[in-house]
Structure formats: C-alpha cells, structure tokens
Amino acid sequence: MPKTIFEPSVQIESLLAAVASKPAASAGIRAVMERASEFRNPAEAQLTGIALDPAGREYADQLMDDYWADDVRQNNVLARWTGVEREVIIGSGFHAAAYAATRVLSGHQKPLVLERNERAGGCFAMSKTPTFFLNSRNRSGDAGLAGDGGASLNYLPGAPIQAANVSMAEYQTNTDMAFVIRLALAQFAEVLTDAQVLSVARDGEGIEVDVEGRDPLYAQNVIDARGLGDPYAQAVANGATILTFPQFMQRMATPWPLRALRRVGIVGGGDSGKCVAESLLGIAPQPSMAAAALDSVDRIDWYSNDLPRNCAIWKDEIRGRYQAIGSYLRPDRFGAQRLNVINRRATPVALPGAGLIDGRTYDLIVVCTGNTESDVQGLRSTDFYEYTTSDGQAVAQRHFEIPVFRVGPHAKLPFTRQEREDGISNIAANAASMFRTATKTATLAAILPAVPTVD
C-alpha cells in the first residue's frame, strides 16, 4: 500500500498517547502494529488497532466525548474564532465529517462543527453500543457506486480510517461508522457539543450564527449538515409506551431492553421500521444483557402500506440485508407466527402503561414514519436552490441570499442521468444513501472558493 504523509491533529495525538499508555486499552494497538507496513501511515495502523479492540475503542470514545465537552477547551476555541474568515458546519454526522475532511485536505482551515446533542457523530452515534446494522455490505475499497465490486459503499472521503478497518462482519453496525465519523472530526474539525443553533442570518459581509446560551458566531460559509431532521412522531411519542426510532435504539443499548414486552407494534415500513423489526426478532446487534429465555417478544404487528404480507413475496421484493425478516412472516415449527404485516395506516394512542392502535393494546409501539427538518430560523427549505458543478451536477443546495450550503439527505438532490442509467434510482432509499451523497458533499468541499482571510 502506498505510504502517505499524515500529521495527526493535537486531539488525535493526545488520544493515541492516552490509549497507548493504558494497558487495558492498548492491546489492539500492539497487535496491529505487527502489521504496520500494510498501512498508509503509522497513525492509521494505531487507530485501526484501537477500533478493533473493544476496550480500546470504548476508552477512545470516552476520551473524545470528554475532550469535546470540556468547557475550558470550548471557550478557548471560541476565543480563537477571529471573525468571518472561518466556516461553520451545523451537525456532526457523516456529511459534516466528509465535508471537514475534504475541505482541510484541500488546503483550507478547519471548520467549526456545532452539535446540538451531548455526543458528536450524528444518527450513528445515537447509542454507545451497537443497535442497528448499516445497509451496505462491508468491503474495502474507495468510494463508488452500487454494483462496483471495487468500491466500498460505506466510504467516508478523507477519513483517517475507513469503516472496513473496523470490522470483518458482513454488515457493520452503527457504532462502527460512528467511530470513523468521530475520528474524522477529531482530525479535521473543531467540535462544540451542546451547541443548539437557533438562527442564521446575514451580517454585513459575513453570516451571524446564533447559538443558544452563547455569544453569536460569525462565519463566511455555513454548511447545513443536519441530516434527516427530527422524527415526525415526536408529538405522539411519550417516551414510555410509544417511542420514536431514536428513542427505541437508545433503549436497545440498555440491559434487558425487551423485558416484559409480549406484544409490540411498529408503525412505518422504511429502513427505520425494518431496523426495529430486526431488534424485536433478535437478528439485530444484540445488547450486552439479553437472553431468549427472558427477552422474547411473542407478537409483532407491523403497520405499513408498503410491505409484503407473506414470506414468498418478501423474498422476491425486499433486497439487501433485510431478507432475514421475511422468514418470520410464516408460522414456525410450533405453528406460531411472531411477525404480522397489517396493510393500513395506524395512529397510536398512549394509555397508562400501554399503547393503543385500532382497539388493540400493545406493551410498546415504535413509530418510524420519517423525519421533518429541525427548526433553525433563516434556513427554510424553500430558501434554497440547487448548487451545481461546472458540468451541471447538483452537489448541494445553496441559500438564495447568504452562503449557506445544504448537504446530505435533506438536500434532496435529484438523481443524475447516469444514476438513472445505472439503476441507482430504481431504489427510492438511494436518494438519501451515503454512497450516493458522500461524494457530492466531498465535491462541494473541494470546489467551493477559498474563504478570504481578514487582516
């Protein structure tokens, strides 16, 4: 493998030193360094060793959380924020990392990433332990398109390590990708957690970013990388018997997450609903404390207009890693069928100690009906137009009045002619797929003009 020059950031250097000095967490580094010649640089080898060792990864994750949450460091970062010659990224998920990595590797300054939650990493970091799988199979390679055998569809452009460094499993988990995202942010960005953006507006030659509880920040460019937004179901979820998809996945990261659940309802048939079904059936990443004898759901009613109702049609129509779900749409050898698809819309109602759908009571209902944009004043979806490259390829949306660029799934970029010819547009979910949108975000980072410096 060709060697590359890689200068670890202060945060990455500190992380490597801390993990290496802790015997209980450094076994992975020691093992991988025996194969250091196979990596592009020593830091990639060391970070891969940390990623492959559960104790090392857990310790490194805690180090990153502590670093980003430190009040003194955050104040020092803001004190160095000298004015409009910098860039701000709203959100700290996959596309924030892809933009930051490509931007810095293209010779620009580190952007400032603002994450509203306590933990950076976006939707993949919603739980600290694995709770759902990625859609695309795990394989090494560079960025590419579906059907390209030499490409890795879980590729994060510019990251210090890739998801293929993290696991040999056929499908990687959310925490595998979260670790890659977080390392990229640690290398290529300044990150502030607990930083809720309230509004974005023009201020002279720059942009004013209003952050809750802080003085306004000023920037030349703003990258809106907020992902898919907030669950539609927040209004009906009560956090106990009716949960949104993120709430359910956070529950799956706790001990005994399925305890006392005999009848569960799922509302919505998209990828989120399928991930919930996998968890309830025991074919998703399993929590550290769960046992079939103690934590087995007897019946799952799945409300969706778009799903096959029997195993044969499921096998024919549903592709990818969700095939295993279909086998539960038929009775088992004891004559019991745990999973039932009900082809109609459902409106759950919270009762004391239960949830209700059409007169049926459930121990738990998980609502997976999509997302809506989180509210930031000045960033309405109608205020943007398609931002294209010189050859007419849309890579982002740009605000009509101020240099704010929307990237990732909520940019809703159209399929290109080539994507339609390649059959990528045949699967509706590919509109928001990482393999399709990652290179568009990286392209934006590479082609945006340099931010002018201020004397």
The tokens describing 354, both together, are: 């239960």
Pairwise pLDDT comparison (223 vs 417), residue with the higher score: 223
Going through 129-280 in order, the beta strands assigned E by DSSP cover 190-192, 197-203, 206-211, 217-219, 221-224, 230-231, 242-244, 263-267
Is the confidence at residue 454, as pLDDT, over 50? no
Is the confidence at residue 297, as pLDDT, over 50? yes
Please state which of the ranges 48-57, 140-149, 399-408 shows the lowest mean pLDDT: 140-149
Mean pLDDT within 397-419: 93
d(CA 210, CA 201): 8
Is the confidence at residue 425, as pLDDT, over 90? no
pLDDT confidence of 434, banded at 50, 70, 90? confident
**CA-based nearest residue to 98, from 171, 19, 155:** 155
pLDDT of the residue at 140: 87
Is the confidence at residue 178, as pLDDT, over 60? yes
Contact between residue 373 and residue 382 where contact means Cβ atoms under 8 Å apart: no
Please state which of the ranges 62-66, 181-185, 421-425 shows the lowest mean pLDDT: 421-425
pLDDT of the residue at 159: 96
Mean pLDDT within 228-250: 92
Mean pLDDT within 271-279: 96
d(CA 412, CA 114): 22
Contact between residue 273 and residue 302 where contact means Cβ atoms under 8 Å apart: yes
Going through 352-423 in order, the beta strands assigned E by DSSP cover 354-357, 360-362, 364-367, 371-372, 384-388, 394-399, 404-406
Beta-bridge partner residues of 340: 301
Amino acid in the structure at residue 269 = G
Amino acid in the structure at residue 438 = A
d(CA 327, CA 314): 9
Q: Give the chain's length.
A: 455
Which residues, 6 or more positions from 384, have their beta carbon under 8 angstroms from its beta carbon? Answer: 397, 398, 399, 400, 404, 406, 411
Pairwise pLDDT comparison (424 vs 190), residue with the higher score: 190
d(CA 227, CA 292): 35
DSSP string, 39-103: SSSHHHHHHHHHHHSHHHHHHHHHHHHHHHH-HHHHHHHHHT--STTSEEEE--SHHHHHHHHHH
d(CA 56, CA 29): 8
Is the confidence at residue 152, as pLDDT, over 90? no
d(CA 426, CA 435): 15
Mean pLDDT within 434-447: 93
CA distances from 291 to 129, 170, 247 (A): 17, 23, 21
Which residues, 6 or more positions from 216, have their beta carbon under 8 angstroms from its beta carbon? Answer: 203, 208, 209, 210
Report the mean per-residue pLDDT for the chain.
92
pLDDT confidence of 27, banded at 50, 70, 90? very high
Amino acid in the structure at residue 427 = I
pLDDT confidence of 453, banded at 50, 70, 90? low
DSSP state of 28: H
Q: Options 3.40.50.620, 3.50.50.60, 3.40.50.300, 3.40.50.1110; which CATH number does 78-229+375-447 get?
A: 3.50.50.60
**CA-based nearest residue to 408, from 435, 378, 441, 385:** 441
pLDDT of the residue at 438: 92
pLDDT confidence of 141, banded at 50, 70, 90? confident
Is the confidence at residue 127, as pLDDT, over 80? yes
pLDDT of the residue at 233: 87
Is the confidence at residue 250, as pLDDT, over 60? yes
Is the confidence at residue 314, as pLDDT, over 50? yes
Mean pLDDT within 167-171: 92
On the question of a common fold for 78-229+375-447 and 231-372, the answer reads yes
d(CA 359, CA 66): 47
Dihedral sign, Cα of residue 174, residue 179, residue 185, residue 191? positive
pLDDT tens sequence across 89-99 = 999 999 999 99
Strand ordering across the sheet containing 206-211: 197-203, 206-211, 217-219
Is the confidence at residue 28, as pLDDT, over 70? yes
Q: Is 438 helix (H, G, I), strand (E, B) or coil?
A: helix
Domain ranges for the chain: 1-69, 78-229+375-447, 231-372
CA distances from 23 to 19, 59, 105 (A): 8, 11, 33
The tokens describing 49, both together, are: 């060793």
pLDDT of the residue at 151: 80
Is the confidence at residue 235, as pLDDT, over 90? no
pLDDT confidence of 423, banded at 50, 70, 90? confident
d(CA 334, CA 110): 60
d(CA 247, CA 263): 18
Distance of CA 267 to the CA centre of its chain: 22
Mean pLDDT within 225-254: 93
d(CA 147, CA 153): 10
pLDDT tens sequence across 369-380 = 988 888 899 999
Is the confidence at residue 146, as pLDDT, over 80? no
> Topology of domain 231-372, per CATH?
FAD/NAD(P)-binding domain (3.50.50)
Q: What percent of the chain stands above pLDDT 70?
A: 97
Q: What percent of the chain stands above pLDDT 90?
A: 76
